[in-house]
């Protein structure tokens, strides 16, 4: 099979570089799972709310709308994926962002919404 590429050497070098820096299949799957978790709209809203600091489930529910049961379910998914953390304060459970890199990704996506390219 003939290769009609005009930049064979340059492209082959790029391929070598991409292959050598490629994360393992396990890490790729982990990255994809993380994106999947934060891509669900109600979980994304929760993370945007928690970007301002820790809150109890009642106030998270108030900020995102919906019902407490649904919000609690989404909080559990975020917690199980180590994206948020919680701590007990008296009778309340307070939730906060555990992985601030996630907020960086969300902020980049938010900025991209205004990109005209």
Q: What is the pLDDT of residue 41?
A: 96
Contact indicator for 49, 58 with CB cutoff of 8 Å: no
Neighbours of 94 (CB within 10 A): 17
Q: Note the pLDDT tens digit of each residue in 48-97.
A: 999 999 999 999 999 999 899 999 999 999 999 999 999 999 999 999 99
Phi-psi domain of 42 (left: phi exceeds 0; alpha: psi -120 through 50; beta: other)? alpha
pTM: 0.82
Q: Note the pLDDT tens digit of each residue in 12-53.
A: 999 999 999 999 999 999 999 999 999 999 999 999 999 999
Contact indicator for 84, 96 with CB cutoff of 8 Å: yes
pLDDT at 117 over 70: no
CB burial of residue 19 (10 Å; 0-12, 13-18, 19+): exposed
Tell whether the torsion through CA atoms of 78, 50, 73 and 84 is positive or negative. positive
Closest CA to 89 of 67, 66, 64, 58: 58
């Amino acid at each position: 099979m003939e290769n009609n590429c005009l930049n064979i050497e340059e492209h082959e070098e790029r391929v070598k570089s991409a292959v050598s820096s490629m994360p393992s299949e396990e890490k790729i799957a982990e990255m994809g799972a993380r994106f999947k978790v934060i891509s669900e709209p109600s979980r994304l809203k929760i993370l945007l709310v928690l970007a301002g600091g820790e809150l109890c489930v009642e106030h998270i529910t108030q900020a995102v709308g919906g019902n407490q049961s649904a919000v609690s379910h989404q909080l559990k998914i975020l917690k199980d994926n180590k994206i948020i953390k919680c701590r007990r304060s008296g009778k309340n459970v307070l939730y906060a962002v555990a992985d601030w890199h996630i907020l960086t990704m969300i902020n980049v996506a938010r900025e991209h919404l205004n990109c005209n390219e």
